[in-house]
Structure 1
Amino acid sequence: MSAGGAGQAIARRVLTPDRLSIGLTLPLMPSGQAMVDAIEQRRLARLADDAGFRALWIRDVPLNSRDYPDPIGHLDPWSWLGALAVETSRTALISGAIVLTLRHPLHIAKAAASVSTLSEGRFILGLGSGDRPPEFAAFGENVAERRRLFADHWQVVAKALGSPQRVVPDRREADSPEFQLRPQPPEPVPLLAVGSGGQSVNWIARNAIGWMTYHREPAQQLDRYRMWRTAVEQSVPGKFRGFGEAMRLDLDADPGAPATPIDLGYRAGRDALVEVLDALRGMGVHHVSLNLRLEERPADAIIEELATHVLPHFHQS
């Protein structure tokens, strides 16, 4: 299925031509903390929803190990997304990203349809391929098959969530019935590529509403965006496909503090942050998901400052 659902309302709120939207990555926790306080995270999600952030991003980390740099015991993404569907009312909910290679695609489609229904169409299904060989082994998969699994599973998910809907069984017996996927969400669930999944940018342009990647140095990111625009023009001429990045942010309490690069993002005061985001908008970036560092300031204060002094520069009524 091609990305025919790119015109859906929730996709347009997150990915809009010539505009930049801003989201947050959950959970919001200080680095080094491993246990998620679910009640606190639900409260912060409501706060972000009320503050006007356009998206809340949820990661899929099936297993933890001592050699994995993220110590957080992330909640199961589908349970977490179901909770957020009823805790929030406006913001898009985006999986960033469901590990498509380690889950059966029909289970993914069923869960995505359920979250979309619970959230009244506010869900965007971000899909990634995973990249940790030991985790593939734990699930009985070969990491060398990652590229093929991603492409094959994507097509099964896309058909099951598309319009018209088509469930593609792994194996069909002689007397197999025609299956349907229920519930049927209000609209086809938009599919977003998070990372490349081992696919070409032309494949992504044909199959996804957009491409989400990690933060890079501006000149390098501009080259990547130009590559993306070329792929879109070649593969789906006349169609819009979004481009976004995940950025780590250490928001300085001094509004005038300059932007200083850190790993995968910046430490900056709010004035410099607006300049950074405005430059990204001018470059062609349509969405930035902020991963907040909370070592020096509480999440509430940062959310309030961003909502008051940063979001109004980019979010239209």
Structure 2
Amino acid sequence: MSVSFHIGNLPNQSVQHALEMGRRSEELGFDGLWVADSHSVMRDAYAILAVLATQTSTLKLATGVTHTVTRHPAVLANSWATLQELSEGRAICGIGVGESAVHNLGLKPERLAVFEEKLGVIRALLNGETVEYEGKEIQMPWSTSPVPLIMASSGPRSLQLA
């Protein structure tokens, strides 16, 4: 068994603070940085992760966590494939049903059955497969480096899916 040490960001931190935290975390030997994807509470996770990918070389870069409520699965897969390429294989997709991130917008977390379907679409696209979603065939043939997906869980049903 191996142990790794990761750090996360907090609400109200400036972009500059998040970037400095990433650079400093790498200097201190942390394995990864998880950036929250919570609209209206945090800065944009994907913008921060993209910049960190260019300013660090060993730090794993993850969302803690993203969700499928406000982003189409193909958009998420595209963002992750791009981040994986930009970071040269250091991306980790922390993903869940939404919970507090969507409550802030007056939305409800994803139903587990819908989340499971969207997660399958994301996985397939990240693996360069063609997938049908909502009657449309989608593919990202340029996506060649799989992105690890780590699922957040807050209950027994989602834990079983994870």
TM-score of the aligned structures, taking structure 2 as reference length: 0.85
1:195 to 153, 156, 159: 153
Contact 1:105 1:157 in 2 (8 A): yes
1:246-285 deviations in whole A, cap 9, x for unaligned? xxxxxxxxxxxxxxxxxxxxxxxxxxxxxxxxxxxxxxxx
Q: Distance in 2 between matches of 1:170 and 1:106?
A: 11
The residue that corresponds to 2:64 in the other structure is: 96
Residue 180 (structure 1) aligned to one of 121, 139, 142 = 139
Contact (CA 8 Å) 2:19, 2:48: kept in 1 or not? no
Aligned residue runs from structure 1 range 66-81, under 5 A: 73-81=41-49
Change (3 A) 1:134 1:184: closer
CA distance in 2 between counterparts of 1:59 and 1:166 reads 29
Aligned residue in 2 for 1:22: 5
Amino acid across the alignment from 1:19: S
- Corresponding residue for residue 61 of structure 1: 38
Do the aligned partners of residues 201 and 22 (structure 1) sit closer, same or farther apart at CA in structure 2, a change above 3 Å counting?
Answer: same
Which AA in structure 2 matches 1:181? M
Determine if contact 1:106/1:160 at 8 Å carries over to the other structure: yes
Shift of 1:152: 1.5
| Maintained 8 Å contact 1:101/1:146 | no
Q: Percent identity?
A: 27
Equivalent residues, number: 161
Aligned residue runs from structure 1 range 268-287, under 5 A:
none
Q: Does 1:151 align with 2:116?
A: yes
Does residue 133 of structure 2 align to residue 169 of structure 1?
yes
Alpha-carbon distance in structure 2 between the residues aligned to 1:170 and 1:99: 18
Matches of 1:127 and 1:179, distance apart in 2: 21
Q: By how many angstroms is 1:84 displaced?
A: 1.0
Give the superposition deviation at 1:42. 1.3
Using the TM superposition, give the Cα deviation of residue 169 of structure 1 relative to its aligned residue in structure 2, in angstroms.
3.1
Query: In the alignment, which of 21, 32, 44 is matched to residue 44 of structure 1?
Result: 21
CA distance in 1, matches of 2:113, 2:138: 25
The amino acid across from 2:143 in the alignment is: Q
Between 1 and 2, higher relative CO (CA 8 Å, sep ≥ 6) is seen in: 1
- Given residue 17 of structure 2, which amino acid in structure 1 is its aligned partner? E
Q: Which has the larger radius of gyration?
A: 1
| Cα offset, 1:37, TM superposition | 2.4
Q: Distance in 1 between matches of 2:154 and 2:130?
A: 25
Please give the alpha-carbon distance, in whole angstroms, between the structure 2 residues aligned to 1:118 and 1:192: 20
Render the CA deviation track for 1:69-126: whole Å, top value 9, x for unaligned.
xxxx411111111111111110111111002233211110000001101000100111
Deviation at 1:136, TM superposition (A): 6.2
Find the residue that maps to 2:51 and give its secondary structure: helix
